[in-house]
A and B are shown apart, each in its own frame.
Chain A
Amino acid sequence: MAVTALAASETRRVPIRLRKLEDERWLALVLLMPTAVLLGLFIAYPFAEGVLLSLSSAKVGDPGEFVGLANFAKLWDDNIFWTSVWNTFWYTGVTTVFKLGLGLWLAMLLNRHFKGKAIVRAFILLPFIIPTVLSTFAWKWMFDPTFSVINWTLFKVGLIHARINWLGDSDLAMASIMVVNIWRGVPFFAISLLAGLQTISPELNEAAAIDGARPWNRFWYVTWPLLLPVTMVVMLFSVIQTFADFQLVYVMTGGGPANATHLFATYAYQIGIVSGLLSQGAAVSLAMFPFLFVIVVVQLLYIRRVETR
C-alpha cells in the first residue's frame, strides 16, 4: 500500500517526457544503452573495420581499394599460413590436455586438508598473476642456448653433453612454448576446478566409500561427472585464450625459427604490422574466426547438455 501510494505521488511530479520510462520497453532500452555503446565502439566497430580491411588492399600509407576475397585466396596458397593453422590447433590441443590434467591433479591435492593450505593456494596462483610478458622473458632466459639454466642442470646431472638449442630447433621451440603456456595456464585450471570441487558435498564421497567404491571409482563415478560442467566452462575459456595466444610466442620465438612456431595471432601481426600489409594481416586474423566459432559452438552445446542432465 505504502509503496503504491509513494509511486503515485512520484508520478505526479515527474515531467511527461520521463514518464515514458515507466514503460518497461523504454526503460530496458535506456538501461541497455551504455553496454550497447561500449560493445559497439570497442568490439563491433573494430570487427567490422577488420572485415572491411581484409577485403581491401590496404598497406601502411596506402588506404587501398576493395579487392574482394583476394587476400583470402592468397592465404589459401600460403604455406606459412597453413603452418600457423596447424600450429595453433596443435598448440591449443596439447596444452589444454596438459593444463586440464595437471590442473585437476593440483585441485584435488589442494582440496585436501593440510597445514599451510591457504599459503600454498596463494602461491599456486603466482604464474597466473605475474604479467605474461615478464614471466615469458624469464622463461626465454631459461631456454637461452648459452645461459640456459635447464641446459646447465641437465649437463651437471650428466644427461647431456652438448648444449641444446631449445628455441633454435623447430620442434623443440614448439615444445618449449607449450611448456611455458602450460606453466602459465595450470593455476587457472587448478583454482577454478578447486572451486568446482568444493561445491561437491564431501558426503557424496563418503557415501560412495561406504557403497564400496575404491578411490579411482569414487573419482570416476562421482567427482568427475559432478565436476564436468565446471570443467567444460574452464576448458572453453582456456581454449579461446590459447587459440588466440600472442604475447607468449611473440616474446619467446617471434614465430621462429623459420616461422615454425607461428600461431594465427603472431602471423597476423607479422604480416599486418611488421610487414605493413594491413589487409592481409586482417585476413589472417579473420581466418581464425570460423575455426574458433566452431570450437566454441560445439563446446557450448556440450556444456548445455551436461548442465541439463
Chain B
Amino acid sequence: MAEVSLHSLNKYFDTTHVVKNVDLQIRDKEFMVFVGPSGCGKTTTLRMIAGLEAISSGEIRIDNTVVNAVPPMDRDIAMVFQNYALYPHMSVASNMAFGLKMRKFEKAEIERRIKRAADILGIENLLDRKPRQLSGGQRQRVALGRAIVRDPKVFLFDEPLSNLDAKLRVQMRVELKKLHERLAVTSVYVTHDQVEAMTLGDRVVVMKDGIVQQVGEPLELYNRPANRFVAGFIGSPAMNFADVTLADGNGRVTAEAQGLKISLPDALASRARSKAGRKATLGIRPEDIRVANPGDSADHCFEAEVEVVEQLGSEILLDTRVGPALMAASIDPESKVRAHDKLRLVLNPARLHLFDAETEAAI
C-alpha cells in the first residue's frame, strides 16, 4: 500500500540542471514506467526516489510521508539494478537473505521468504550457487528475488532488462508483468526502450532533457501524443513527419507541402484554422497509410515513389519519397510492390497529428 508523489522535484549536478520541476503522482499498486533517451533524467529521478541521490529542491513523499531526508534503508523500498548488483562473495540464498538479516528478521522467517521468492521465480535449484556461476537471466531473477523477499512498499527498477539478449528480454518482460500482477506492489520502472514502456506500464512518463513531456496510459501516449517528441519516441516503426504549411480556403483547412495536400478532419481543422498560413509539422504513423483504392477521396491521397521494400511477413514496410519528405508505410504483406514503383497512397485522416512548428506541441 503505497503512493509515491513527487512535487516540483529538481536536481542539479554542479550547474547542470538534470531534473526539472517534476510533478508526479504514482498511485498505489501502479506500475509506472519512466521512459526517455539516455541523459533525460529518468534514472536520476528514480535514484532520488530511492534516496541514493540527494534532492536539490522539491519534495518526495512515500505513503504521504516526506522522505527527502530519509536514508534509503528507512524508505522501505527495494531496487533492482541494471547490472544486478548481486554480492559476488555470497551465495544466491545469502544475497536474498542479506536485507532481511540486516533488518534482524528471524531465521525461520528468512528461510520461509527465500523459499517463497525462489518458488515464484523458479530459482530453487540455484540457491547455493555464487552469482558468477549464473547466466545473465538467472542473475536477473536473483536480483528480483532479493527485492521480493523484502516485501517492500515500492519496487524500483533501473533498466533491469537492458543487459539481457533480445529473446530473454522479451521473456523476462512477460514474467515481470505476471510478477507485478501477482504481488501488486507499487512499482517504478526506468527504461529507454519504448516497447518495454508500452507493454509493462499502467502509465508511462515520457521524459526529455529533465522535463516530463507527457504522463499517461500507453494507448493515450500512442494515440494522443502531447508533442512531437512523444509522437516520435512512442511507437515502432516511428511516426512520419512532414513539414507543411496550413491553408484555409473554401471552408476547408489543408496541410500542404510539395507533393502533398491533405485536408484536415473537422476537429483538427477547427483547432488549426487560427494558424492558417503558418508552418506546422504533420504526423502520421506508418500503419495509418495504405495503398489507395480508386474510390478513395482525393483529399487524403498523395503520390509516392517507393525507395525500399522491407518484407516482414506480417506486413510490408515501405520507405517512400513524397516530394522532399520521406514517409514509411506499413501495408498488406500480400501487396505486390517493388522499389522505384510509383504508388498512390492514402492516409487515415482520423489518425492525423499536427504539431506546432515552433513549440512542437500538438495542435
Contacts and interface: CB of A to CB of B under 8 A. Distances in A.
Contacts of A213: 73, 98, 102
B102 A212 contact: yes
A209 B85 contact: no
Interface string A120-155: 000000000000000000000000000000000000
B88 interface: yes
B79 A210 contact: yes
Interface stretch (A198-206, A266-274, A283-291): A198-206
B33 interface: no
A101 interface: no
A211 B146 contact: yes
A209 B81 CA distance: 13
A261 B78 CA distance: 57
Contact of B99 (A206, A212, A214): A212
- Summarize A's interface: helix, strand, loop or mixed: helix
A136 B150 CA distance: 56
B83 interface: yes
Given A209-B72, A209-B73, A210-B73, A221 B98 contact: yes
A208 interface: yes
Interface in B73-123: 73, 77-79, 81, 83, 85, 87-89, 98-99, 102-103
B234 interface: no
A200 to B, nearest CB: 9
Contacts of B83: 201, 203
B188 interface: no
Nearest to A206: B52
A194 B103 CA distance: 30
A197 to B, nearest CB: 15
Contacts of A226: 88-89
Nearest to A229: B89
Contacts of B89: 225-226, 309
Contacts of A221: 87, 98
B81 A222 contact: no
A216 to B, nearest CB: 11
- Chain B: interface size category: 20 to 34
Given A212-B73, A221-B98, A207 B103 contact: no
Given A201-B85, A204-B85, A225-B89, A210 B77 contact: yes
Contacts of B79: 206-207, 210
A247 interface: no
A86 B188 CA distance: 62
Contacts of B85: 201, 203-204, 206-207
A158 B71 CA distance: 45
A151 to B, nearest CB: 47
A212 B51 CA distance: 12
Contacts of B146: 207, 211
A122 B353 CA distance: 60
A11 interface: no
Contacts of B98: 208, 211, 213, 221
Q: Which of A204, A212, A222 has the most CB of B within 10 A?
A: A212
Contacts of A203: 81, 83, 85
A210 B87 contact: no
A170 B150 CA distance: 59
A232 to B, nearest CB: 14
A273 B146 CA distance: 65
B50 interface: yes
Given A212-B73, A226-B88, A207 B81 contact: yes
A221 B51 CA distance: 21
A217 interface: yes
Contacts of A217: 102
Contacts of A222: 87
A212 B52 contact: no
A208 B97 CA distance: 12
A214 B81 contact: no
Contacts of A209: 51-52, 71-73
A217 B98 CA distance: 11
12 contacts: A206-B52, A207-B146, A208-B87, A209-B51, A210-B73, A211-B73, A212-B103, A213-B73, A221-B87, A221-B98, A226-B89, A309-B89
Q: Which 9 A-B pairs have the closest CB atoms?
A: A211-B99, A203-B85, A212-B102, A207-B85, A212-B73, A210-B72, A209-B72, A225-B89, A213-B102
Interface of A: 201, 203-204, 206-214, 217, 221-222, 225-226, 309
Interface of B: 50-52, 71-73, 77-79, 81, 83, 85, 87-89, 98-99, 102-103, 146, 150
Given A203-B83, A207-B87, A210-B73, 16 more contacts: A203-B85, A204-B87, A206-B52, A207-B81, A208-B98, A210-B52, A210-B77, A210-B99, A211-B73, A213-B73, A214-B102, A217-B102, A221-B87, A222-B87, A226-B88, A309-B89
